[in-house]
Amino acid sequence: MPISEEIAGANLNNQNDAASHYGAGQQSFDDAGQQGFSTGDILWAVGIWSVILTLSPVIVFYMLMVA
**Domain boundaries of the chain, sorted by first residue:** 5-26+38-66
Q: pLDDT tens digit string along 43-67?
A: 999 999 999 999 999 999 999 999 8
Give the pTM. Answer: 0.42
15-54 pLDDT, tens digit per residue, is: 555 555 556 655 555 556 678 999 999 999 999 999 999 9
Model pLDDT, residue 19: 57
Please provide the DSSP assignment of 2-66 as one string. PPPHHHHHHHHHHHHHHHHHTTTT---TTTTT--S--HHHHHHHHHHHHHHHHHHHHHHHHHHHH
